[in-house]
Amino acid sequence: MNPEPSPWRLKEFIEHIDIWIGLEKPDVDLRIHVLAWAMRRDESPYQGARRESGFPNLWFAPVPQSNRNGQIVICYYEVFESLHELRCKGFGTLSWPV
Q: What pLDDT is attached to residue 7?
A: 81
Whether omega before 97 lies within 30 degrees of 0, making that bond cis, reads yes
Q: What pLDDT is attached to residue 86?
A: 97
What domains does the chain contain, in order, with CATH numbers?
9-95 (3.30.2310.20)
Q: What is the pLDDT of residues 59-81, one digit of tens each?
A: 999 999 999 889 999 999 999 99
The residue ranges of the chain whose pLDDT is under 70 are 1-6, 98
The one-character DSSP state at 7 is S
Q: What pLDDT is attached to residue 17?
A: 98
Cα–Cα distance for residue pair 34/28, rounded to 1 Å: 10
How much is the pTM?
0.87
Q: What pLDDT is attached to residue 5?
A: 60
Answer for the pair 39, 11: CB distance below 8 angstroms, yes or no.
Answer: no
Answer for the pair 82, 7: CB distance below 8 angstroms, yes or no.
Answer: no
Helix ranges restricted to H, the chain:
13-24, 28-39
